[in-house]
């Protein structure tokens, strides 16, 4: 590589050799003879200090460059790597020459030294990665994505790329963004009220995917273990701290797995990811622990060392109905679990992750395996403190007739699912899978409070800037 990253320089021996760093100035501080510059390149949480000493002589050229340096300026700095006399840093650079690559005028650069609110930073999402918080989030996001691939690749899963544009609605909830090349202006003026989709790009209505599950199932019933990891889209009008219109989802799908194997996999997966965060990202995690959510590391360590609770929907309902007064939405058997219910179970009752199974079929998707009681399905949702649902999954209905029945019952057309039904017609097997919302995982691991702060450029109702 042409340049050296600050994270590598910071852990190398301060043997007096000459080094050059590139980055953005966090702060510049001057005394009569000394100039201290903190340079950060985002490769790690810490900045490196470049110290210039006028007693040792600074060239006129470097003096001129120093005048142009303020917070946010980009620089190239060369000097000798020496042990640092200052506390909190092992090494520093005894500066010899500095070149400003780009100034950041104090009058207009929005990121000055003071702490900015997360709300303010959301409006400058193109500059926020230069802050401590968003630099840390960016590195965590990358590390967690890497960890996800490691987890599955080590366990014989194949990474499958499911389509972004699809003609099916996996969740059957109708919350989809339509994809079309039809001229909407023209259509608005047309005398007819019926749209002729045969003239559209795909010859029929198409949309952005809400989940890669159905297509993942086709590969799981061929190569046994698969996972998808890609963007998904939901046109639900939810303006909350846990919902995005565009989010990333990880969906493993495993042939020959039942709901219990599925729960074991989900628990092992979450623990693997937490352990990865704690072991591979100690500096960033320390920052989240100190500045974002006090006690985060202790809480996550506790989660690592405990068994997740597993209860049925019916058991959960008993617990919730006992405490009905606590809820705005009164719980009753048959209702979908509201966020307040989920959080009560995981935060107040059990105080750790909880996996709820056996939901009423009416509130779950068509593909979930029907239990013997004919009323509940083998769904599993994992709930975690501070967040509620982080994972949703199920054992899949592998019986052709039952599945066709469920599709019809829910007002969907079996013909639209002909290829999905073929998986049950030919060599059907029990199989299971789940979806983990990547941004929900990041909220959980970093302790950040708003999902819009753990994705670089959030998309939500009326929000598509950048």
Residues lying near Mg ion in the complex (CB under 5 A)? 392
By the 8 A CB rule, do 216 and 228 touch?
Answer: yes
- Counting contacts by CB under 6 A, is residue 251 touching ligand 4AD? yes
Q: Please identify which residue in 49, 51, 168, 211 interacts with ligand 4AD, judged by CB under 6 A.
A: 211
Burial of 407 (0-12, 13-18, 19+ CB in 10 A): buried
- Counting contacts by CB under 6 A, is residue 273 touching ligand 4AD? no
Distance of CA 222 to the CA centre of its chain: 29
- Counting contacts by CB under 6 A, is residue 376 touching ligand 4AD? no
**Smaller CB separation from ligand 4AD, 14 or 393:** 393
CA-to-CA separations, 181 to 64, 184, 200, 202, 295, in angstroms, rounded:
56, 9, 6, 9, 51
By the 8 A CB rule, do 324 and 332 touch?
Answer: no
> What are the structure tokens assigned to 198, written together?
């045969």
CB of 226 to ligand 4AD, least distance (A): 11
Q: Give the Cα separation of 382 and 389 in Å (integer).
A: 6
By the 8 A CB rule, do 356 and 345 touch?
Answer: yes
CB of 232 to ligand 4AD, least distance (A): 7
Q: Please identify which residue in 42, 353, 385, 392 interacts with ligand 4AD, judged by CB under 6 A.
A: 392
**Binding-site partner at residue 217 among ligand 4AD, Mg ion, none, CB < 5 to 8 Å by type:** none
> What are the structure tokens assigned to 332, written together?
């009753």
- Counting contacts by CB under 6 A, is residue 391 touching ligand 4AD? yes
CA-to-CA separations, 139 to 129, 228, 454, in angstroms, rounded:
10, 21, 11
**Smaller CB separation from ligand 4AD, 243 or 369:** 243
- Counting contacts by CB under 6 A, is residue 92 touching ligand 4AD? no
**Smaller CB separation from Mg ion, 392 or 447:** 392
**Binding-site partner at residue 420 among ligand 4AD, Mg ion, none, CB < 5 to 8 Å by type:** none
Q: Give the Cα separation of 427 and 148 in Å (integer).
A: 30
CB of 392 to Mg ion, least distance (A): 3
34-40 vs 74-83, strand pairing mode:
unpaired
> What are the structure tokens assigned to 334, written together?
């048959």
CB of 381 to Mg ion, least distance (A): 6
**Binding-site partner at residue 393 among Mg ion, ligand 4AD, none, CB < 5 to 8 Å by type:** ligand 4AD
Q: Give the Cα separation of 342 and 382 in Å (integer).
A: 9
Based on its alpha-carbon atoms, the radius of gyration of the chain, rounded to whole angstroms, reads: 27
CB of 168 to ligand 4AD, least distance (A): 12
Q: How many residues bind ligand 4AD (CB under 6 A)?
A: 23
CA-to-CA separations, 126 to 39, 85, 131, 176, 457, in angstroms, rounded:
20, 36, 11, 28, 8
- Counting contacts by CB under 6 A, is residue 128 touching ligand 4AD? no
CB of 104 to ligand 4AD, least distance (A): 34
**Smaller CB separation from Mg ion, 79 or 358:** 358
Sheet holding 225-233, edge to edge: 158-159, 225-233, 246-255, 431-437, 388-395, 376-384, 354-360, 309-312
- Counting contacts by CB under 6 A, is residue 247 touching ligand 4AD? yes
CB of 281 to Mg ion, least distance (A): 28
* Residue 264: CB atoms within 10 Å: 13
Distance of CA 6 to the CA centre of its chain: 26
- Counting contacts by CB under 6 A, is residue 431 touching ligand 4AD? no
* Residue 357: CB atoms within 10 Å: 25
- Counting contacts by CB under 6 A, is residue 439 touching ligand 4AD? yes
**Smaller CB separation from Mg ion, 95 or 392:** 392
**Paired residues of 52 in beta bridges:** 35
Q: Please identify which residue in 41, 215, 389, 398 interacts with ligand 4AD, judged by CB under 6 A.
A: 389
Q: Please identify which residue in 37, 249, 300, 337 interacts with ligand 4AD, judged by CB under 6 A.
A: 249
- Counting contacts by CB under 6 A, is residue 23 touching ligand 4AD? no
The DSSP call for residue 349 is I
Name residues contacting ligand 4AD, limited to 156-185 (CB under 6 A). Answer: 170-171
Q: Give the Cα separation of 251 and 261 in Å (integer).
A: 15
The DSSP call for residue 337 is P
By the 8 A CB rule, do 112 and 71 touch?
Answer: yes
First-residue to last-residue Cα distance in the chain? 30
CB of 451 to ligand 4AD, least distance (A): 6
**Binding-site partner at residue 433 among ligand 4AD, Mg ion, none, CB < 5 to 8 Å by type:** ligand 4AD
Q: Please identify which residue in 14, 435, 447, 458 interacts with ligand 4AD, judged by CB under 6 A.
A: 435
Q: Give the Cα separation of 441 and 144 in Å (integer).
A: 9
Q: Please identify which residue in 225, 234, 378, 406 interacts with ligand 4AD, judged by CB under 6 A.
A: 234
Binding mask 93-112 for ligand 4AD (x = CB under 6 A): --------------------
Choose one: 102-110, 263-271, 341-349, 383-391; the region binding ligand 4AD (CB under 6 A): 383-391
Name the site residues for ligand 4AD (rule: CB under 6 A). Answer: 170-171, 211, 213, 234, 236, 243-244, 247, 249, 251, 389-394, 433-435, 437, 439-440
């Amino acid at each position: 590589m042409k340049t050296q990253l600050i994270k590598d320089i910071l852990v190398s021996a301060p043997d007096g050799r000459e080094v050059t760093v590139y980055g953005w100035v966090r702060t510049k501080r001057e005394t009569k003879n000394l100039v201290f510059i903190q340079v950060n390149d985002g490769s790690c949480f810490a900045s490196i200090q470049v110290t210039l000493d006028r007693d040792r002589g600074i060239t006129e050229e470097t003096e001129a460059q120093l005048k142009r340096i303020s917070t946010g300026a980009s620089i190239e700095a060369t000097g000798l790597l020496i042990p640092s006399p200052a506390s909190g840093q092992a090494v520093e650079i005894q500066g010899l020459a500095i070149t400003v690559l780009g100034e950041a005028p104090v009058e207009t650069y929005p990121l000055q030294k003071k702490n900015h609110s997360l709300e303010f930073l959301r409006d400058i999402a193109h500059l926020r990665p230069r802050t401590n918080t968003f630099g840390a989030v960016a590195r965590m996001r990358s590390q967690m994505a890497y960890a996800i691939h490691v987890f599955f690749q080590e366990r014989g899963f194949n990474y499958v790329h499911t389509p972004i544009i699809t003609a099916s609605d996996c969740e059957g909830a109708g919350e989809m963004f339509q994809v079309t090349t039809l001229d909407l202006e023209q259509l608005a003026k047309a005398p007819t009220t019926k749209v002729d989709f045969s003239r559209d790009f795909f010859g029929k209505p198409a949309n952005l995917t809400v989940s890669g599950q159905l297509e993942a199932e086709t590969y799981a019933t061929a190569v046994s273990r698969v996972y998808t990891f890609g963007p998904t889209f939901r046109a639900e009008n939810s303006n909350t701290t846990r919902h995005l219109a565009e989010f990333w989802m990880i969906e493993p799908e495993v042939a020959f797995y039942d709901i219990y194997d599925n729960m074991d996999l989900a628990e092992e997966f979450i623990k693997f990811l937490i352990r990865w965060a704690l072991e591979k990202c100690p500096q960033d995690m320390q920052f989240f622990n100190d500045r974002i959510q006090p006690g985060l590391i202790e809480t996550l360590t506790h989660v690592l060392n405990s068994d997740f609770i597993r209860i049925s929907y019916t058991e959960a309902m008993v617990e919730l109905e006992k405490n009905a007064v606590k809820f705005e939405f009164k719980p009753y058997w048959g209702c979908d679990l509201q966020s307040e219910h989920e959080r009560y179970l995981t935060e107040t009752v059990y105080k750790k992750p909880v996996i709820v199974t056996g939901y009423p079929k009416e509130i779950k998707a068509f593909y979930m395996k029907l239990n013997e009681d004919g009323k509940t399905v083998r769904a599993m949702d994992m709930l975690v403190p501070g967040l509620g649902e982080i994972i949703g999954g199920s054992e899949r209905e592998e019986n052709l007739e039952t599945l066709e029945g469920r599709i019809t019952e829910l007002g969907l057309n079996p013909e639209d699912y002909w290829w999905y039904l073929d998986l049950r017609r030919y060599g059907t097997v029990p199989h299971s899978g789940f979806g983990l919302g990547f941004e929900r995982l990041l909220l959980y691991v970093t302790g950040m409070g708003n999902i819009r702060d753990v994705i670089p450029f959030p998309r939500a109702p009326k929000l598509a800037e950048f």
